[in-house]
Amino acid sequence: MKRIFAIVLVLLLVFSTAACAKTAGPAKGKESDWEIVVVPKDATNPWFVRMDVGVKEYAKESGLNVYQKGTPEIDATLQSQLIQDLIAAKVDAICVVPVDPGSLEPVLKQARDKGIIVIAHEGAPLTNVDYDIEAFSNDQYGAFIMDNLAESMGEEGLYTTMVAHVTNASHNEWADGGVKRQQEKYPNMTLLEAEPRVESEDNGDIAYQTAKELFKKYPDLKGIMGTSSYDAPGVARAIQELGLEGKVFTSGTGMPADNAELLKAGAVKALTLWDPALAGKAMAALAVKMLRGEEIKDPVDLGVEGYTNLKFKEGSSTVLEGEGWIVINAENVDSFGF
C-alpha cells in the first residue's frame, strides 16, 4: 500500500512539474514584470559595449525591464554558465550572441524547455532558438558595398574585388553580391577580367602591397571593392603613397575607431558595417513581440532602423535577415564609440 502511494506521489510530482512547464509560455503576466536579458559574447569588447547602448535605449523607450549581462571575457563555457543562471532566475526571454553556437545548443534547449523565449544574433546555425536575427543577407550587403564604391567612382570605370581568402565563405558572397549589383545597375563599370578577385589574407600589409601591384600593372584600374576590415585601410595606404588620391577609390567593411584617421584624411570616403546597438535593440524588440503573443510573419517590422522589413532566409524558418547596414564617413565616425 505504501509502495503504491509512493508511486502515485512520484507520478503526481512528475506530472505537476510537466504541467507547470506547459503553463509557462508567451503572453504571461503583466508587461512590467517581464525580464528580458541580452547576453553578448563578452562585456568589455567595444562592439558589445556599443550593443549595450542600444539595449539601454530600448529599455528607456519601452519602459520594460530589458538589460544586458555579459561575461568578463569571451569564453563559451562562461557564457553557457551565465545562461544557466538566467534559466534558474526564471527570466522571460534570453537574447544571445553566441561565442560558439554548437556548444550552446544544450543549454538553449533547456531554456526553451522551461518556456523561455530564445533569440539569437549571428547564430544562424543554431536550432534551439525561436528566431535568429541577422543584420543583412550576404548578397545584399555586397550590393551595398558596391553602391558605396560606385558612388565614389562616379559609376564608371574598371574595378576589382578583394577578399581575405578566396576560400572565405562570407567575403566571397559579399564580393559576388557586389559584382551582381554592378552588372544590374552600373553598366559603365567593368570588372577587371585578368584579376577579378585578389587576396589580402586579412592582413593590412598584404592588402597594401597587392593594391600597389594592381595599380602598377593596370593603370586604368579605378576602384577596389574590399570586404575584410583590413582591405580598405591597406588599399587606402597604397592610394596615398602612389599619389592617386581622388583618382582611384576603395570601399569595404571597417570599424569606426580603427578608421577614424583614414576617413578624416579623406583617403577613404565611406566604409560600411552594421551597428551592434541596433542589433541589440532588434533582438529585444523581437522578444517583446513574442511575449505579447504576436504572430511572427514575413516581413517582420521591429520598429528599429534597418530591421523594419525582416525576411526569412531562403529555406529557413528561424533565420531573419534585415537591412541593418550603415555607412560611416568623416562626419559620423566619432559618434559610434566603438
Partner 1 sequence: MTKFVKNLTQRNETYIFIVIVVLSLMIQFRSGQFFTSNNIVDQLSALIVPGLFALGAFMVIVSGGVDVSCPALASLSMYATTRILVDINYQGGIFLPIIMSLFFGAILGAINGVLIASFNLPPLIVTLGTSSVFKGIMQGVLGSVQIPVIPRGMSSFGAASLFIAKNPQTGLTSRMPVAFMALVIVLIIVYFFLQRTMYGRGLYAVGGNEISAHRAGFNVWMIKFLLYVGVGMISSLAGLIRVCMMTQAHPTNMLGMEMMVIAGVVLGGTAITGGAGSLTGCMLGTILIVAVQNSLILLGIPTFWQGLFLGLLILVGMGVSALQVTRATKVKGPMIKGAQS
* Residues binding partner 1 (CB under 8 A): 166, 194-195, 197-199, 203-205, 208-210, 212-217, 219, 230, 233, 237, 241-244, 257-261
Least CB distance to partner 1 at residue 290 (A)? 35
Rg for the chain (alpha carbons), in Å? 24
Q: Which amino acid is at 252?
A: G
Residue (of 301, 302, 325, 299) closest to 312 by Cα position: 299
Q: What CA–CA distance (Å, rounded) separates 75 from 42? A: 8
Q: Which is nearer to partner 1, 205 or 294 (CB)?
A: 205
To which H or E segment does residue 318 belong? none
First-to-last CA distance in the chain? 69
To which H or E segment does residue 191 belong? strand 189-191
Q: What CA–CA distance (Å, rounded) separates 329 from 89? A: 43
Q: Which is nearer to partner 1, 33 or 241 (CB)?
A: 241
| Contact predicate 245/179, CB 8 Å | no
| Contact predicate 55/284, CB 8 Å | yes
Least CB distance to partner 1 at residue 234 (A)? 8
Least CB distance to partner 1 at residue 247 (A)? 9
Q: Which is nearer to partner 1, 212 or 313 (CB)?
A: 212
| Contact predicate 121/304, CB 8 Å | no
Q: Which is nearer to partner 1, 175 or 285 (CB)?
A: 175
Residue 101: all three cell numbers together: 553556437
To which H or E segment does residue 78 belong? helix 76-88
Q: What CA–CA distance (Å, rounded) separates 52 from 278? A: 10
Q: Which is nearer to partner 1, 101 or 234 (CB)?
A: 234
Q: Which is nearer to partner 1, 28 or 217 (CB)?
A: 217
Residue 146: all three cell numbers together: 558596391
Q: Which is nearer to partner 1, 211 or 285 (CB)?
A: 211
Least CB distance to partner 1 at residue 233 (A)? 7
Q: What CA–CA distance (Å, rounded) separates 130 from 290? A: 9
Least CB distance to partner 1 at residue 155 (A)? 24
For residue 119, what are the β-bridge partners?
A: 95, 131
Least CB distance to partner 1 at residue 115 (A)? 38
Q: What CA–CA distance (Å, rounded) separates 168 from 200? A: 11
Alpha carbon 277 to its chain's center: 10
Least CB distance to partner 1 at residue 261 (A)? 6
Least CB distance to partner 1 at residue 267 (A)? 11
Q: What CA–CA distance (Å, rounded) separates 164 from 226? A: 9
Least CB distance to partner 1 at residue 215 (A)? 7
Peptide bond into 101 cis (omega under 30): no
